[in-house]
Amino acid sequence: MATPSDSDIAQIAAAYSLPPALLMGIVRQEGASPGYGLSEATLGAYNLSPTQLQSDPLLALSVAARTLAQSFQQTGSWDSALSVYLTGNADAWQSPTSPVGGQVTAILGAAALNPSFGLSSSFVPGDASIFSSGSKAFSTQLEQMSTSGGIVTQQNVTAYRQAAAQVSTQTFTASANMQQVASDILTAAKLPVTDANVAVITTMAQGEGMPLGDFNWLATTQGAGVATVPNTPGVQVFGSYQEGIDATAATLLNGNYGSMVSLMSQGADLQTIARDPGVQANLRTWQGNSNEDVGLLLGEQNVPGRTAAPAAQQATLTAQKSPSSAAVGEFAQQLQASNVDPQEFAANFPHLAAVRRQLLGSKRTTVSDYAEVAGALHAQNMSVNQAGIVETVRSQPHPSYPNVTAGAFADTFGNAMLHSVTYTRTVPTNGEVARLVGMDNKEIASYYQQKAATSKPSPGTPVSPQQAPTAGKTAQLGRLS
């Protein structure tokens, strides 16, 4: 099997949010075997044969990267993740009678020889939070290896930490401070930076819940990003902080939000802005006829239209806000009226909200949503737990393609993503995925091979990580345009 280039390895690692050195370690140690040492069970799950991978090294590398990324998300440890990758058993590497421990050590050793491999200024992980988690685990692994002597030195560890920190800094630093983001958006839109205006932007961003690494805090569909968020009407993923700032500012000024921009320009206080009928109509346009942002802003404590407090002070004030006694009482009544057990709700609601966001693109999960899922499980004499919640949400119709279930769509999207990136260098469209539901992995691969042959894409390296969001990435439903 032809050895992929360093660029291939780095780009595919970025697409699946892996530290590139780990994927490089697999290539160096397992490259003599078709499929880079993937277990027969894994190849069978993809309906692939060693012969197919032998003739298609980029497909083999993509399967390897995706499998390793999924294994780490299951285990949280690179020892165990590599063990799952090689055998399907997270504990196999610990057995003194198994050769798996030696394979895992060899791969980690190869990675540790050049731990900063691929972490250049152009490396942008498809999902920054997944990369950050994996990077920390790899750093810990390197530290442990350095203390036992041998090829890994403290200099290796330090070099890796500096390179990984640079990647995380590029992705998170500017984006994580929403007060600064709001200030920069207002400045770019030539609107005054006031307490009230900052509160409008930050409250709306809270409602959107966009990933920081997408640099699209208000879920705009305007501008030319590097990709769109799956399961959304064109919500953009931007390649840099400044591109996101400029696109959001341009959206505020595009003529659809005149009342809001007018009151912001006048330095109105927050509640004057929130109660204005024209602003409320603007917000409904912003969110596709939803009153969600209107309610969020009306529920905020009023702040004046004056110069905003320093970001750190503003963040402290925001963190100190607490729900009113009336809000707490109203919530308790909602639970009682829905016949929901408060302890059960507290244990399971966060998981339900995450699953609904991932599979249905739901930006908000309410008490009634929880009551509906809990009722469905109770009707089947099942307890409300994480497994039951996942199964129930997976069985629901997809919001855009009701003829298929959300679970079938998500599964097909993962398989389509793998083959579309490999053969056509593009991310599959949602409509395309919906049409592929029901096909097995071999049929999906054949579809993209034929599509590639028809379109005759120019030769080159795999799709960039910006163009290939990690499969299963949280979908948003923002409609800002």
Quick check: 170 and 160 in contact, CB under 8 A?
no
Most confidently modeled range among 364-373, 398-407, 450-459: 398-407
Look at residue 411 and tell me whether its pLDDT is greater than 90: no
The pLDDT value recorded for residue 342 is: 73
- pLDDT grade, residue 131 (50/70/90)? confident
> Residue 437: what pLDDT?
92
Q: Give, to the nearest 10 degrees, the angle between helix 441-455 and helix 406-424.
A: 40
Angle at which helix 325-337 crosses helix 367-379, to 10 degrees, equals 30
Q: Domain residue spans in the chain? A: 6-175, 177-320, 325-394
Alpha helices in 253-341 (DSSP H): 258-266, 270-275, 277-286, 292-298, 311-320, 325-337
Give the model confidence (pLDDT) of 433-449 as tens digits.
Answer: 899 999 987 888 889 88
The pLDDT assigned to 322 comes to 43
Residue 20's pLDDT is 94
The answer on pLDDT for 309 being more than 60 is no
| Per-residue buried b or exposed e for 22-61, using 16+ beta carbons within 10 Å of the residue's own CB | bbbbbbbbbbeebbbbbbeebbeebebeeebbeebbbbbb
Residue 301 in this model has a pLDDT that exceeds 50: yes
What confidence score (pLDDT) does residue 453 get? 84
Q: Is the pLDDT of residue 431 over 50?
A: yes
Work out the average pLDDT over 263-292.
85
Mean pLDDT of the chain: 78
* pLDDT value for 404: 92
For 345-372, what is each residue's pLDDT tens digit? Answer: 777 777 787 778 778 877 667 778 888 8
**Once rounded to an integer, what is the mean pLDDT over residues 256-260?**
89
| Percentage of the chain lying above the pLDDT 70 cut | 80
Give the type of residue at 379. Answer: A
Report pLDDT for 26: 92
What DSSP string runs through 196-233? Answer: HHHHHHHHHHHHH---GGGT-TT-B--S--SEE-TTSS
- CA pair distance 116, 93, nearest whole angstrom: 25
Strand partners, 307: 194
CB contact set of 360 (below 8 Å; sequence gap of 6+): 393, 396, 398, 399, 406
CA separation for the pair 33, 218 (Å, rounded): 46
pLDDT of residue 329: 57
Confidence band (pLDDT; 50, 70, 90) for 333?
low
Answer with the residue of higher pLDDT: 419 or 402. 402
| Residue 19: band (very low, low, confident or very high) from pLDDT cuts 50, 70, 90 | very high
